[in-house]
Structure 1
Amino acid sequence: MTNPLLLRVLQGETTARPPVWFMRQAGRYLPEYRALRATTPDFISFCLTPEKAAEATLQPMRRFGYDAAIVFADILLIPRALGQEVWFEAGEGPRLGAMPSVEAMRDLTEGAGEALKEVGQTLSLVRAALDPDKALIGFAGAPWTVATYMLDGEARSIGKGERATARTYAYADPEGVDALLAVLVEATAHYLKMQADAGAQVLKIFESWAEGLPEDLFERLVLKPHKALVRRVRELGVTVPLIGFPRGSAALAERYARETEFQAVALDTACPLEIGRRVQAIKPIQGALDPLLLRNGGAGLDRRVDQLLEAWGQGPWIFNLGHGILPDVPIAHVEQVLKRIGAQ
C-alpha cells in the first residue's frame, strides 16, 4: 500500500525532501479556477456542489503535483449547519446573520456532518481521482475562529481585524462564549468524522484568530477547545492524523505543541526559525513561507526557501505557506519554489 510522503512526515519521519502543499492552493491565482468559479455566482453553492468543488480541489494537483490535496470548502460552513445564515459579498467577504441561541444550535451538533454531506461527497470524488501517493486533507475552522465570525456577524466595526467584537464578548460574557465554543467543538467533531469517513487521510484545524490573544485568553479560547476537539474526534473513532494551526500564537506555539494531541503543528509567517526548531523537537511542523514573498519572487524567494530548508529540513517538516496563497501570485513563482525544494 502506498504511504504518501505527507503521512510519513506526520508519523515522525524525516524525508529526503519535505512534502509540500499550499494553503488555499485551489483558488483565484489559477486561471482554470477562475473559469470554473464563474459558473456558479454564489460561493456557498459552489462549495456545496461536489462535482465543482472536487474539480477545484484537483486543479492545482494537475498543474503542480503537490504532495497533498485539500478539499475545497470553507470554514464558515459550520455556522450554516447550525442554523446561522451565511453569505459572501463580492469584494467584501463573509457576512453572517443573527446567531441562533446556543440551545437551538446544541440540538443540531450531532447532525453537522449530515448537514454538510456535500463536502464528504467532494472528498469521495477527489479520492477516487487522486493518485494514491498523494494525501487528501480535510479541514475545519477551529471553535474560536468560527465563533469570532458568528459573534461579529457582518464584522464592519472598527477593530474587526482583531476580532474586537468577539474578544469583547469573551471578556464580558465568558459563560456565554464558553457555551458557544462547546457547541462548536461538538459540531466540528461530527463534521470532521464525516470527512474522515469520506476519505480524508489528514484533518487540519484552522485557528486563524489565535493572534493577539493574551495568554489567559489563549488558554481558554484556543488550548482548551482544541484539546476538547481532539478528544471528541478520537472518541468518535477517527484515527487519521490531525494538524493544528494556531496562527499568530508566536512563542505560545511551543506550549500548544506540548499540551495538545495534534500530530503536527502548522506555523505562521511570523514564527521565528528557532521557535520552529523547538516545536519540531516535540512533533512534526508545517510552514511557513510568507505569501507576500511568494508573490514577489526573485532571489529573495530562493534565499528564504533555502533558510527554511536549512533550519527545519533536518527534522519532520511539511513545506507550506504561513498563511493562504494570494490571488495575484504568479504561477511561475510557485514553480520556482517547487523546483527549489526538489518537488518538480
Structure 2
Amino acid sequence: MTRPDNDLLLRALLRQPVDTTPVWLMRQAGRYLPEYRATRAHAGSFMDLCRNANFATEVTLQPLSRFPLDAAILFSDILTVPDAMGLELSFAEGEGPRFAKPLREEAEILALTPPPMEKLAYVFEAVTSISRALDNRVPLIGFSGSPFTLACYMIEGGGSDDFRRVKALMYSRPELLHHILDVNARTVTEYLNQQIAHGAQAVMVFDTWGGILTSAAYEAFSLEYMRRIVAGLKREQDGQRIPVVLFTKGGGQWLEGMADTGCDALGLDWTVDPAAARARVGHRVALQGNLDPGVLMGTPAEVAREARRVLDAFGPAPGHVFNLGHGISQYTPHDNVRVLVETVHHYSHVLHANAPA
C-alpha cells in the first residue's frame, strides 16, 4: 500500500500537523450530482450500481472530478452486510431500503450467523478497482454501518420513525438483540478488514441510529460492539497505520466513551460544539465535522461564512477533518459544494500559517 500523494486526511486523522485542513463530505458521491443520476439510470437500480465494480468506481470518482476533495469514499451501502446474511435487500424508488426477510421470530434470530465474505466480494472488487483508478492521488475511505444501526434495519425491515420493534426486543428479550449485535460485530470486523486488505486506507463506522438510545442502552447495545470492532481491526497495512473513525449521529453526549474505544477519530454531527468537544476528549482523538448540511442550501456567501466559522471553532491545532455533520442532501446546489471546498482549503491554510509555533 503506497501512501497517497495527498495524504492530508491520513495525517489529520492521526493528529499529525498539516498545512491545510482536509475536507471530504459524507455522501459526496450521490444524487446531487447529475452525472451520478445518469450513471444510476444506466446501471438500472441502486443495487446494480453497488454490485458492479466499474459503476461503483465511476461514481466514487465523480465528485473528485468536480471538486478538489482530499479523499474518496467507497460507493456502497451499509445494508450490503445484512443483505449478505440473506435478508434480501431492495430499494423501491422514493421509499428507501426494504428487507424481504426481516428478523422477527426467535428462531430466525438464533439462526443468524456471519455470512461468508464471498457474498460481499463485489464490494472488495470495487475497493480494488477504485484504489487503482485513484492512482495514489488521495486516500480511499472504507466504511460499514455499526452493529446497532444494522440491527435497526434488520429488525424493522427498513427505516422507522419510532424503532418500536427494536426497542420492544431490547426491553423484552435483550439476549436476542445481543445475539444479532454479536453476529453483526463479528461480520463488520471482517468486512472492514477485507476492505483494508483490498486497498482502503482509512475506515469509518456509521452509527446512524445510536442517538435514539438512552445512555445506559447506548453503552450496552451500541458502544460495546463498536469497541469490539475497533479492537479487532488490522490497523497496520504494509507499514502504514489505518485510521478508524467512529460516528454516532445524535451521540454528542457520549464522546468520552467513544474516544476510549481506541479509535483514531470521532465524527461530530452539527449539534455538537467543536470547542467543547475538544475540551472533553483532549487530543486523544482527531475530530471530524461538523457543518450543518442545510447550510449548503443557502447563498454562496453564507456557505463560505459558515465554513470559516466551523474552522475557527476547531482551530488550527492538529487533528481536524472538515466534513458535514451528516450526509449531503440530494437537493444541494453543486456550485455551493465548490464554494465550500475552496473556502475550507484557502481559509484553513491561512489559519495554519498564522498558528503559534
Q: TM-score range by the shorter chain?
A: over 0.9
Alignment deviations for residues 234-282 of structure 1 (CA, whole Å, 9 cap, x no partner): 499896221111111122123311x211111111111123333223532
How far 1:191 moved relative to its partner? 1.0
Q: Does 1:271 align with 2:272?
A: yes
Name the SS for the 1:342 alignment partner: helix
Alignment deviations for residues 120-172 of structure 1 (CA, whole Å, 9 cap, x no partner): 111111111114240101100000000000000144xxxx2342321222112
Q: Which moved more, 1:299-308 or 1:67-76?
A: 299-308
**Corresponding position of 2:209:** 209
**Corresponding position of 1:151:** 155
**Corresponding position of 1:16:** 19
Distance 2:340 2:62 in 1: 18
Rate the CA distance shift 1:269–1:161 in 2: closer, same or farther, 3 A: farther
**Corresponding position of 1:105:** 112
Q: Does 1:141 align with 2:142?
A: no
Alignment deviations for residues 208-250 of structure 1 (CA, whole Å, 9 cap, x no partner): 0111321101101221001111122249989622111111112
Name the SS for the 1:309 alignment partner: helix
Name the SS for the 2:288 alignment partner: strand
Percent identity reads 35
Distance 1:305 1:247 in 2: 20
How far 1:295 moved relative to its partner? 2.0
Distance 1:146 1:235 in 2: 23
Distance 1:199 1:149 in 2: 28
Rate the CA distance shift 1:200–1:270 in 2: closer, same or farther, 3 A: same
Distance 1:80 1:122 in 2: 17
Q: Which amino acid aligns with 1:9?
A: A
| Match 2:64 to one of 27, 51, 61 | 61
TM-score (norm 1): 0.92
Q: Is the 2:25–2:328 Cα contact (8 Å) retained in structure 1?
A: yes
Rate the CA distance shift 1:176–1:236 in 2: closer, same or farther, 3 A: farther
Name the SS for the 2:263 alignment partner: coil
Distance 2:98 2:200 in 1: 28
**Corresponding position of 2:310:** 308
Q: Is the 1:20–1:343 Cα contact (8 Å) retained in structure 2?
A: no
Q: Is the 1:43–1:88 Cα contact (8 Å) retained in structure 2?
A: yes
Rate the CA distance shift 1:307–1:125 in 2: closer, same or farther, 3 A: same
Distance 1:209 1:293 in 2: 23
Distance 1:168 1:254 in 2: 28
Rate the CA distance shift 1:127–1:235 in 2: closer, same or farther, 3 A: closer
Aligned residue pair count: 336
Q: Does 1:38 align with 2:38?
A: no
Q: Which amino acid aligns with 1:232?
A: G
Distance 1:185 1:177 in 2: 12
Q: Is the 2:196–2:237 Cα contact (8 Å) retained in structure 1?
A: no
Rate the CA distance shift 1:162–1:127 in 2: closer, same or farther, 3 A: same
Distance 2:237 2:179 in 1: 24
| Match 2:293 to one of 280, 284, 291 | 291
Distance 2:33 2:252 in 1: 31
Q: Gaps (5+ residues) in structure 1? A: none
Alignment deviations for residues 29-81 of structure 1 (CA, whole Å, 9 cap, x no partner): 11111110101232112101110011000111111121100010000000111
